[in-house]
Chain A
Amino acid sequence: MIPFLVCVLLFLFGLYAIVVKRNLIKMIIGFCFMEYAVNLFFAFAGFKREALAPIITDPDMARNFVDPLPQALVLTAIVIGLATTALMLALAMRIYAKYKTFDITEIRRLKG
């Protein structure tokens, strides 16, 4: 239960940064927080105390393995996170070139 709460807390930290912060870069850091929270939760989901890496060296060995699947999922999620972060930073750079500011309250040419 505690790992779950820690992850939710981290997720909410990220959300807080996105909603409250006015600087684009800080918002992007907020996204990184949220991604890490989810990835951490995946890693916790596969964890078992005193378990082995799931590599079978001896057919008779005790089968007390950690779940390897979440780690594979986390790798995929990290790659997706990389793509989103890169695109978001690229957009932020282009926005800075146009508006000369990272302040979200001054980037308001669209109405509605």
Chain B
Amino acid sequence: MDRLVPLFVVLPLAGAFLVPLLAKLWRGLTDITANLVGAVLVGLSVYGLVHLATGSPAVVYKMGGWMPPLGITLVYDSLSALVVLITNLVGFPALLFSVRYLDKFTGRWRYYTLFMLLLAGMNGVAISGDMFNMFVFIEIAAIASYALVAFGTEAEELEAGFKYMVMGEIGGLAILFSIAMLYAKTSTLNMADMSQVLARMGQTPWFWLVLGPMLVGFAIKMAMVPFHSWLPDAHLSAPAPVSAMLSGVFIKVLGVYAMVRVVFNVFGLARATAPAFFNMLVGFGLVSIIAGGLLAITQKNYKRLLAYSTVSQVGYILLGFGIGNHWAIVGALFHMLAHAVTKGLLFLASRSVERQTGSREIGTIGGLEKSMPITAWSYILGSMSLAGVPPFAGFFSKLFIILGAVAAKMYWVAILAALFSTVTLGYLLKVINSVFFSRKGVEPTPAKESPPMMLLAMVMLVVLAFAFGVGFKPVLDWVVRPAAEVLFSGLAYARMVLGG
């Protein structure tokens, strides 16, 4: 594994380079190359997990042989492993789905090139151990995603792409400004080294001044509620596999993961040392849950409904990190995994419906359960997982977050979280009832089932959502708990990287 860590970035980058070249030979080669890269990345992330579970706690790769803190290090620890796994588990089905999805577009190789760059950027963010390097990967992923949102080049798509880009770039520049201030004060960019310098300085006003812009940047990337306005438009306009990636993975890797890595491991904050900060996270999490949930209920367009639902579900993840005890953080990390798989699935299934019926509005279609059974049941099972119906993955993640809230004696938070879990069920049932089941007086919309490639992608995600739920115990013990340990150990991260 020690030599394989850079492959998480190198493989998709090589894919991005090869796809345009191979497109000149034969169009089908682009599909094969991109999907091959996706499949190999899934294999690598699973192999990496096995390696971490059986061997050393982390793999530290020194780029070019420069010892930290001088060179750029890639750090593949349990938390990175979890995030890389999420990225690639959703990335591969999204690529499979893209094969037939792209039939209506001409620029097939352009799409795959951008998609590969998106994967490279997100994997890079997850394994980077260097502040500036992380920023570069954030920008690679972000720029690819802006272009992908506007990929259809229709008026609405361009508008959504521009709007998203304006918000995203303000966030990116805020993060860069923070990194510049950090560098000016600590004279290092290596996260591990920086955390030791920061620990010697203590929580001065300057400390919070630097953290502020960075948190705003990450909040924009994760679509936390005051900054969420780009998300519904972007998710609505992007190609469906890209929506699945954006909603399932992008906002978690660039927003949530980057934030918790910086807050816990670089700035060394924990519930015990900075209660005000963590209460703020709880507050923003609750606001996101409530606002996202209520906005989702009112939507007529089922893709936009899913987008607002994402805002609400990211609120749960933030809430978990904000509560900050063992169960809550385990729950938040588990919810990252569960939500990525299920929301990816729901976006793919909605696209499947839209492709076969040509409508995005809830009231205009009905009774698809008979004509498109696999799509319909994928959507229904995905909704059950997202809403927290046992035995699916979403049930356990929400259960852990609520357990954490109870253990932290925040009873009203636990009650609100449980209550809005039923709101999730409510808006998803609205879609299921009107789109998939037939009602009296409404003719079932005539439709055929989607092509097998698309169905395969959806079934893969259903199986994952089910497997993570039924097998929650091994997932918890092998994947999620070690990742939570990395966050709890806080500044021990520095010793691990610099000592290793």
Whether the pair B136, A35 counts as a contact (CB closer than 8 A) is: no
Let me know if B156 and A91 touch, CB within 8 A. Answer: no
**Chain A CB within 10 Å — which of B154, B169, B232 has the most?**
B169
Query: Taking CB as reference atom, which chain A residue is nearest B153?
Result: A94
Given known contacts A18-B170, A109-B155, A110-B159, is B139 in contact with A84 (CB within 8 Å)? Answer: yes
When the two chains form their complex, are residues B233 and A110 in contact, meaning their CB atoms are under 8 A apart?
yes
- Note all chain A residues with C-beta closer than 8 A to B150: 91, 94
Residues of B with C-beta under 8 A to A27: 166
CA distance A64 to B248 in the complex (A): 50
Provide the residues of chain B in CB contact with A70, threshold 8 Å: 180, 183
Question: Bound state CA distance, A15 and B161, in angstroms?
Answer: 19
Task: Write out, one digit per residue, whether chain A residues 59-93 have a CB within 8 A of any chain B CB (1) or not (0).
Answer: 00000000101100100110010011001100110
Minimum C-beta distance from B421 to chain A (A):
24
User: Across the interface, do B233 and A38 meet the contact criterion of CB distance under 8 Å?
Assistant: no
Given contacts A11-B177, A110-B156, contact A76 B162 (CB under 8 A): no
- Residue of A18, A41, A69 touching B177 (CB-CB under 8 A): A41
Contact (Cβ within 8 A) A38 B232: no
- B residues 103-147 near A (Cβ < 8 Å) are 132, 136, 139, 143, 146-147
B261 contact set on A, CB distance < 8 A: none
Q: Complex Cα distance A98/B150, Å?
A: 13
Central interface residue in A24, A37, A80, A99, by most chain B CB within 10 Å:
A80
Pair B159/A109 contact, Cβ less than 8 Å: yes
Docked Cα-Cα span, A15 to B344, in Å, equals: 34
Q: How many cross-chain pairs have Cβ atoms below 8 Å apart between A and B?
A: 89
In the complex, A96→B168 CA distance in Å? Answer: 21
Point out the residues of chain B lying under 8 angstroms from A88, CB to CB: 162, 165, 169
Task: Give the CA-CA distance A42 to B173 in the complex, in Å.
Answer: 13
- Digit string of B163-180 for contact with A (CB within 8 Å is 1, else 0)? 101100110110011001
Residues of B within 8 A of A99 (CB): 155
Q: How far is the CA of A91 from the CA of B168 in the complex (A)?
A: 14
Task: Note all chain B residues with C-beta closer than 8 A to A44.
Answer: 184
- Candidate in A87, A91, A98 with the most chain B CB atoms within 10 angstroms: A91
Q: State which of A76, A92, A98, A109 has its C-beta within 8 Å of the C-beta of B136.
A: A76
Measured between beta carbons, the chain B residues less than 8 angstroms from A95 are: 155, 158-159, 162
Q: 1/0 contact trace for B266-306 toward A, CB 8 Å?
A: 00000000000000000000000000000000010000100
B176 lies within 8 A of A87 (CB): no
With A27-B166, A112-B233 given, is the CB distance from A38 to B173 under 8 Å? yes
Contacts of A69 in B (CB 8 A): 183, 189
B231-243 to A contact mask, C-beta < 8 Å, 1/0? 0110011000000
Residues of chain B within 8 A (CB-CB) of A67 are 187
Contact check, A112 vs B232: say whether CB atoms are below 8 A apart: yes
**Across-interface contacts of A83 in B (CB, < 8 A):** 139, 143
B236 touches A42 (CB 8 A): no
A85 CB, min distance to chain B CBs, angstroms: 9
Q: How far is the CB of B384 from chain A (nearest CB, A)?
A: 27
CB-CB under 8 A from A110, the residues of chain B are: 156, 159-160, 163, 233, 236-237
Report which of B132, B159, B177 forms a contact with A107, defined as CB distance below 8 A. Answer: B159
Q: Mark A95-106, 1 if CB is under 8 A from B, else 0.
A: 100110000000
A42 & B143 in contact (Cβ 8 Å cutoff):
no
Q: Nearest Cβ distance between residue B308 and chain A, in whole angstroms?
A: 9
> Would B165 and A18 count as touching, CB distance under 8 A?
no
Q: How far is the CB of B188 from chain A (nearest CB, A)?
A: 9
A87-B147, A95-B158 are known contacts. Are A15 and B170 too (CB-CB below 8 A)?
yes
Cβ contacts under 8 Å, B177 to chain A:
11, 37-38, 41
Query: Whole-angstrom distance from the CB of A28 to the nearest CB of chain B?
Result: 9
Which listed residue, A15, A38, A87, A112, touches B180 by the CB 8 Å rule?
A38
- CB <8 Å contact, A91 and B136: no
A to B CB contacts below 8 Å, 5 in the list: A18-B166, A35-B173, A41-B177, A94-B158, A98-B158
A→B interface (CB under 8 Å)? 11, 15, 18, 24, 27, 31, 34-35, 37-38, 41-42, 44-45, 67, 69-70, 73, 76-77, 80, 83-84, 87-88, 91-92, 94-95, 98-99, 107-110, 112
